[in-house]
Amino acid sequence: MRGDSIVVEPHHERAAAGIHELILNRPRNPNGRMVITVAGESGAGKSEIGEALARCFDAEGHPSLVLQQDDYFVHPPRSNDRARRASIDWVGPGEVRLDLMEEHLALFRAGSRLTKPMVRYLEDRIDDVEVDLAPFRIAVVEGTYVSLLKHVDVRVFITRDYHATRAHREKRRRHESELDPFIDQVLAIEHSVISGHRELADIVVHDDYSVSYARPVCDLLHAVEEKRS
């Protein structure tokens, strides 16, 4: 998303390195491309850890593409805020074009070209940009609801909730409206949805940015083999 502020700090790099180390021991998709999602609540560090993880793969010779859920919202940010205030029921996965994300991940698997949305925050609009997917071997997809996507090899979940992330949101805020009491109501709704997505995770980033498998390794390997078959 254009106009966003992403500052990768040492704790993000540490978490990304831990994720990268665990993924290195995982079978890759038969066509040589891998999709990794990084999910969590607002301010949990999804964008920063996703960017740091892409850098890890780039450094070992696996060119990586980062896809941000923020670019796939139905409405651009300020318009989406107005929609939420008009009806709080708008908050949730329905705000995001997850179906389009699925289509684009299928295109990534095929190494095709795609026309993807690009949010321009300050202008409150969504443009289209052309992306040639052929050079990329890794797609890192970050966002609140990306654990729900199906064309995925590895799901990462960050456990920090919206209470713990307020300082980060204040540091990164793009508009004063993001920190008013209404947004706390939005974040509580998001929490009620997203907290259950931890059960979908293969890898978990804990509150101290340490990293572990979400369940026994044998179960993870079995799940990967099922995806490949």
**For the chain, which residues make up each domain, given as ranges?**
10-69+137-228
Instruction: Identify whether the C-beta of residue 83 lies closer than 8 Å to the C-beta of residue 46.
Output: no
Is residue 176 over pLDDT 80? Answer: no
Q: Which CATH architecture describes the domain 10-69+137-228?
A: 3-Layer(aba) Sandwich (3.40)
Q: Please report the pLDDT score of residue 163 as a whole number.
A: 83
Other Cβ atoms less than 10 A from the Cβ of 112: the count is 13
Q: Please report the pLDDT score of residue 173 as a whole number.
A: 57
Q: Please report the pLDDT score of residue 214 as a whole number.
A: 92
Is residue 78 over pLDDT 60? Answer: yes
175, 158, 172: which is closest to 212 by C-alpha? 158
Please calculate the CA angle 171-71-15 and round it to the nearest 5 degrees.
50
Residue linked to tokens 């409206």: 177
Is residue 177 over pLDDT 70? Answer: no
State the average pLDDT for the chain: 88
* Region 63-84 average pLDDT: 96
* Region 79-85 average pLDDT: 96
- pLDDT higher at 176 or 54: 54
Token pair in block for residue 53: 């993880």
Please calculate the CA angle 145-101-140 and round it to the nearest 5 degrees.
70
Is residue 174 over pLDDT 80? Answer: no
* Region 18-26 average pLDDT: 88
* Region 116-131 average pLDDT: 94
* Region 100-117 average pLDDT: 95
* Region 116-127 average pLDDT: 94
C-alpha span between 41 and 22 (Å, rounded): 22
